[in-house]
């Protein structure tokens, strides 16, 4: 097992609303990000469904539909802050860089309570770290180093099972 940041193994002691308004967001805001879609994996989707079913009566957690299961790899930019040309360059450069990545297994075993979600954390995060590094490098090559703030290098890959919501709201189903 590849070592993970220590916080990846710890359950949260406090919850917060996953749906809080992040800086720069408002109604209608759209954002480009790289995701590793995992909903088509029968084994993982089945495991997620089992956990979701086991905790279906826990209030204030929205289940994530199978089609939405993903690992967020890297944010890019608000839709209205990147040109069509720059976006096309990022997509082309990233596709070319990722074409050389060999398939790798991901193993998920146990759920973890995070501040904003109940998640599954992969046993070995190194292949995901490597893919994220490739994506970040490709963005820099396409746009120039530092052109876009790529955010923190602290990466804690996970698949969310359920998102935390305020208790005052009815559950989303």
DSSP conformation letters of 95-108: HHHHTTPPP----E
Which pair of tokens denotes residue 117?
Answer: 């979600």
Per CATH, the number for 28-164 is 3.90.1140.10
Please state, in angstroms and rounded to a whole number, the distance separating the CA atoms of residues 57 and 68.
21
Q: How far apart (Å, rounded) are the C-alpha atoms in residues 148 and 77?
A: 8
What's phi and psi for 113, nearest 5 deg? Answer: -90, 115
Q: Distance between CA atoms of 98 and 136, rounded to whole angstroms? A: 11
Structure tokens belonging to residue 61 = 């957690």
Per residue in 7-20, pLDDT (tens digit) is 556 787 877 777 77
Ordered by start, the domain boundaries in the chain are 28-164
Q: Span 157-162, mean pLDDT?
A: 94
Cα–Cα distance, 2 to 64 (Å, whole number): 27
- Identify the band that residue 2 occupies on the pLDDT scale cut at 50, 70 and 90: very low
How far is 163 from 68, CA to CA, in rounded Å?
12
CA distance 161 to 108: 12
pTM of the model: 0.85
């Amino acid at each position: 097992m590849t070592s993970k940041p220590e916080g990846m193994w710890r359950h949260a002691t406090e919850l917060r609303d996953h749906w809080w308004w992040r800086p720069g967001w408002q109604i209608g805001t759209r954002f480009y990000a790289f995701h590793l879609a995992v909903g088509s994996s029968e084994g993982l989707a089945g495991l997620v469904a089992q956990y979701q079913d086991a905790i279906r009566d826990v209030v204030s957690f929205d289940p994530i539909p199978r089609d939405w299961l993903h690992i967020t790899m890297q944010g890019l930019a608000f839709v209205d802050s990147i040109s069509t040309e720059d976006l096309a360059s990022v997509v082309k450069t990233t596709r070319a860089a990722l074409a050389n990545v060999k398939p790798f297994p991901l193993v998920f075993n146990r759920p973890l309570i995070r501040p904003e979600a109940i998640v599954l954390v992969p046993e070995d995060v190194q292949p995901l770290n490597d893919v994220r590094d490739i994506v970040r490098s490709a963005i820099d090559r396409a746009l120039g180093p530092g052109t876009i703030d790529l955010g923190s290098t602290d990466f804690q890959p996970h698949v969310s099972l359920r998102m935390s919501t305020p208790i005052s709201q009815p559950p989303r189903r």
